[in-house]
């Protein structure tokens, strides 16, 4: 977080924490902020909402808590069914291997990849899911996660959630209906500003 971001948050009535600039991941930054804001451990769950998802719906933020109803779940996240064929093979669209039960909207994540999972020959036999990078951690799980060293699959896929899976931690996924706009380019930022201006009218 930059000083300008902190000022904007505080002007809006929020509380901002400027973390060290040398953290290797957003999860490490969240852990430092939580230690600062809640040193007594009052809260047992923490949501990491990335700043590059400015249009995420409040319903999606609420949905990420659903998997934590199961005490065996360490980390919760979100996914949406891929409906645009080109996204199946786009490495910038992270996929999660998950099987939702009939009528169910929460299931365990088996793997995350930039490649199509399950394998491309199986695409017609079932849906593929786009992973949305919003996480809810149990407090103890976040502390354990940031203490883990980077893992081999994490390095190959460039996906830090694989560090948790390789360490035996359980990640469950809540299914939502829409993908929030991710801001990765100046054009994305212009589009996000336009969408947010429309919603405030």
pLDDT for res 19: 84
Contacts with 171 (C-beta within 8 Å, 6 or more apart), sequence order: 73, 74, 75, 76, 77, 108, 109, 161, 164, 165
Note the pLDDT tens digit of each residue in 90-105. 898 899 999 999 999 9
Note the pLDDT tens digit of each residue in 43-77. 899 998 876 676 678 888 899 999 999 999 999 99
∠ CA(128), CA(80), CA(86), 5° rounding?
Answer: 50
pTM of the predicted protein model: 0.85
pLDDT for res 99: 94
Enumerate domains of the chain plus CATH numbers. 1-43 (no CATH), 47-200 (3.90.550.10)
Note the pLDDT tens digit of each residue in 111-152. 999 999 987 675 567 899 999 989 999 999 999 999 999 999
pLDDT for res 114: 94
Contact 138, 74 (CB under 8 A): yes
3-class SS of residue 139: helix
Note the pLDDT tens digit of each residue in 148-193. 999 999 999 999 999 999 999 999 999 999 876 566 667 766 776 7
């Amino acid at each position: 977080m930059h000083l300008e971001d902190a000022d904007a948050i505080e002007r809006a009535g929020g509380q901002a924490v400027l973390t060290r600039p040398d953290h290797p991941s957003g999860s490490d930054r969240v852990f430092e902020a939580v230690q600062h804001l809640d040193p007594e451990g009052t809260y047992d769950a923490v949501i990491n909402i990335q700043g590059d998802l400015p249009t995420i719906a409040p319903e999606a933020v609420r949905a990420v808590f659903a998997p934590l109803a199961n005490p065996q779940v360490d980390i919760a996240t979100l996914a949406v069914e891929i409906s645009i064929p080109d996204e199946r093979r786009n490495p910038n669209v992270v996929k999660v291997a998950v099987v939702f039960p009939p009528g169910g909207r929460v299931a365990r994540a088996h793997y995350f990849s930039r490649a199509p999972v399950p394998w491309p020959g199986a695409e017609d036999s079932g849906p593929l899911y786009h992973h949305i990078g919003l996480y809810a951690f149990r407090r103890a799980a976040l502390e354990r996660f940031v203490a883990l060293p980077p893992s081999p699959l994490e390095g190959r896929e460039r996906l830090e959630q694989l560090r948790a899976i390789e360490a035996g931690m359980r990640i469950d996924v809540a299914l939502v209906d829409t993908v929030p706009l991710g801001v990765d380019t100046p054009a994305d930022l212009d589009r996000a500003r336009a969408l947010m201006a429309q919603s405030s009218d």
